[in-house]
Amino acid sequence: MKAVIIGGGIIGLSSAYYLSEAGWEVEVLEAGDFADNCSYGNLGMVVPSHFVPLAAPGIVAQGVRWMFNSSSPFYIKPGLNSKLINWGLKFLRSANAKQAEAAARPLLELNLFSKSLYEELATQLNFGLKKKGILMYFKTESVAEEENHLAEKARAMGLDAIYLNRQELLHLEPEQQPDVLGAVHYRCDAHLHPNAVMREMINILKQKGVILSAGKPLQKIVRDQDQIREIIAGGESIKADLFVMASGSWLPETMKQAGISIPLMPGKGYSFTGNEGGPSLRIPAILCEARVAITPMAGQLRFGGTMELAGFQHKVNMNRVRGIVESVPNYFPAMKLEMPQEKEVWYGFRPCSPDGLPYIGFAKNSRNLLVAGGHAMMGLSLGPATGKLIAELAQSKSTSVDISAFDPNRFS
């Protein structure tokens, strides 16, 4: 039995790994060269703590305040875009307390499952997995109240989360001396080096005999009633028993070729690595008010953030980067962060579904087409779990966690 996976990010590679483990012959098709996608530039956080979906209560009001400021954490490029409008209407309907509550347990279980799989993978692959948790820093009383309420909910769901005051944080991060009211330490979380995990996954897939085909953009899908008969990629006809669509932010375009509509928007984010020789950070940090994340990585620090809904804009908006740089000293005065040069800034497109939940499962009216996408900022965190679930579905097995909330056909 042969499986073809469209997309060579962490979701596609994880799907290839677990399908290969299950005995499938696997080929991964990548439009690029497997060397530069969202899986490389992210902050490397593995986050059971992130059980609140992107479409959360209050995010709309906050987003409206931010949306037309080009240096804010959230930005929508003004203009009439039918895809964005349709996505936005679905997002508005999803951003309520009832749906966020219903999403919490499925997201938590998916993240916990993925963390356990990363722990298994770390016994044979070297990607710097560290289980130090993450710290959610806050400077204002209103955000302190929100974060402590969220921590209470996390503890009620079984997560290890504690409140730390400023003095306790000074002890935990002595080189940084954080200037904050406090933080919540999610000791259940972990982090790794994303570049290393991608490199290690590619190496082990080659050892397993998985074919990694670069420069093979999907061009056409040929259907035969309720199944995919063949695809055309890079000018080549490819037949298989199973097809897995793991095409990231390009999922709507690739699924459209199969006659299926899936709502998704690319949310551009930025990251850069620096602070070499500066004060170190022991534990990954999220600066709550600024929506900025920092992860210690290979002796340096990686900084990232922002959400820019402007379609596929292939250029760096340095105002967005400046927003990240200028926010950091408000939390860590000892960190004298230099504005990076444009060539040092990485950007990528996060695949955002309207309700903030991934798409995992069989596509409508397609018995051999599986969808694996829409993970937004949690693609790396949820990669192994998604890959394992894809392999279980391919074998008609019961899934390790309930995936009904992730039905790819829920908006159709």
Cα distance between residue 161 and residue 263, in whole Å: 34
| Residue 46, domain member (yes or no) | no
Q: What are the pLDDT digits (tens) for 120-132?
A: 999 999 999 999 9
> Does the pLDDT of residue 385 top 80, yes or no?
yes
Neighbouring residues of 342: CB distance < 8 A, sequence distance ≥ 6: 316, 318
> Does the pLDDT of residue 164 top 70, yes or no?
yes
| Residue 119, domain member (yes or no) | no
Cα distance between residue 153 and residue 52, in whole Å: 11
| Residue 102, domain member (yes or no) | no
Most distant pair of Cα atoms in the chain: their distance: 65
> Does the pLDDT of residue 20 top 90, yes or no?
yes
Do 179 and 30 share a structural domain?
A: no
> Does the pLDDT of residue 230 top 90, yes or no?
yes
Q: Which residue has the higher pLDDT, 242 or 72?
A: 242
Cα distance between residue 115 and residue 121, in whole Å: 10
DSSP assignment, residue 130? B
CB 292 within 8 A of CB 330: no
Cα distance between residue 13 and residue 202, in whole Å: 7
> Does the pLDDT of residue 349 top 90, yes or no?
yes
Q: How confident is the model at residue 219 (pLDDT cuts 50, 70, 90)?
A: very high
Region of poorest pLDDT, from 12-16, 248-252, 332-336: 332-336
Cα distance between residue 11 and residue 372, in whole Å: 7
Do 64 and 141 share a structural domain?
A: yes
Query: Which three-class secondary structure state does DSSP give residue 303?
Result: strand
> Does the pLDDT of residue 72 top 70, yes or no?
no
DSSP assignment, residue 257? T
Do 297 and 277 share a structural domain?
A: yes
Write out the H or E segment, with its range, that includes residue 372: strand 369-373
The pLDDT of residue 55: 74
The pLDDT of residue 68: 63
Comparing CA positions, the residue from 56, 69, 12, 75 lying closest to residue 310 is: 75
Domain end position, chosen among 308, 329, 352? 352
Cα distance between residue 359 and residue 356, in whole Å: 10
Q: How confident is the model at residue 67 (pLDDT cuts 50, 70, 90)?
A: low
The pLDDT of residue 275: 75
Count of all residues that appear for the chain in the document = 412
The pLDDT of residue 299: 86
Percentage above 70 pLDDT, the chain: 94
CB 174 within 8 A of CB 280: no
Do 184 and 305 share a structural domain?
A: yes
Cα distance between residue 336 and residue 334, in whole Å: 6
Domain end position, chosen among 352, 370, 388? 352
Tell me how many domains the chain contains: 2
CB 33 within 8 A of CB 215: yes
Q: Is the pTM of this model over 0.85?
A: yes
Cα distance between residue 59 and residue 52, in whole Å: 11
Do 375 and 282 share a structural domain?
A: no
Percentage above 90 pLDDT, the chain: 77
Cα distance between residue 41 and residue 185, in whole Å: 24
Do 243 and 330 share a structural domain?
A: no
The pLDDT of residue 206: 97
Distances from the Cα of 171 to the Cαs of 166, 168, 174, 177, 279, in angstroms? Answer: 9, 5, 5, 8, 14
> Does the pLDDT of residue 81 top 90, yes or no?
no
| Residue 274, domain member (yes or no) | yes
End-to-end alpha carbon distance in the chain: 30
Q: What are the pLDDT digits (tens) for 291-335?
A: 999 999 988 999 999 888 877 888 898 988 999 999 999 999 999
Do 64 and 152 share a structural domain?
A: yes
Within the chain, how many helices (H) and strands (E) appear? 11, 20
> Does the pLDDT of residue 57 top 90, yes or no?
no
Q: Which residue has the higher pLDDT, 55 or 318?
A: 318
Do 316 and 243 share a structural domain?
A: no
Do 180 and 269 share a structural domain?
A: yes
The pLDDT of residue 311: 79
| Residue 165, domain member (yes or no) | yes
Q: What is the mean pLDDT of residues 14-35?
A: 96
Concatenating the DSSP letter of every residue in 213-249 gives: EES--EEEEEEETTEEEEEEETTEEEE-SEEEE--GG
| Residue 201, domain member (yes or no) | yes
Indicate which CATH number applies to the domain containing 278: 3.30.9.10
Do 282 and 229 share a structural domain?
A: no
Region of poorest pLDDT, from 90-104, 198-212, 254-268: 90-104
Give ∠ CA 38-44-50 in degrees, rounded to 5: 95
> Does the pLDDT of residue 202 top 70, yes or no?
yes
| Residue 124, domain member (yes or no) | no
177: domain range? 58-95+134-188+265-352
| Residue 30, domain member (yes or no) | yes
Do 294 and 160 share a structural domain?
A: yes
Do 318 and 300 share a structural domain?
A: yes
> Does the pLDDT of residue 65 top 70, yes or no?
no
The pLDDT of residue 290: 93
Indicate which CATH number applies to the domain containing 24: 3.50.50.60
Helical packing angle, 97-121 and 379-394, nearest 10°: 80
Domain end position, chosen among 330, 352, 374? 352
Cα distance between residue 253 and residue 114, in whole Å: 27
Each residue of 291-317: b (16+ CB within 10 Å) or e?
bbbbbbbeeebbbbbbbbbbbeeeebb
CB 360 within 8 A of CB 107: no
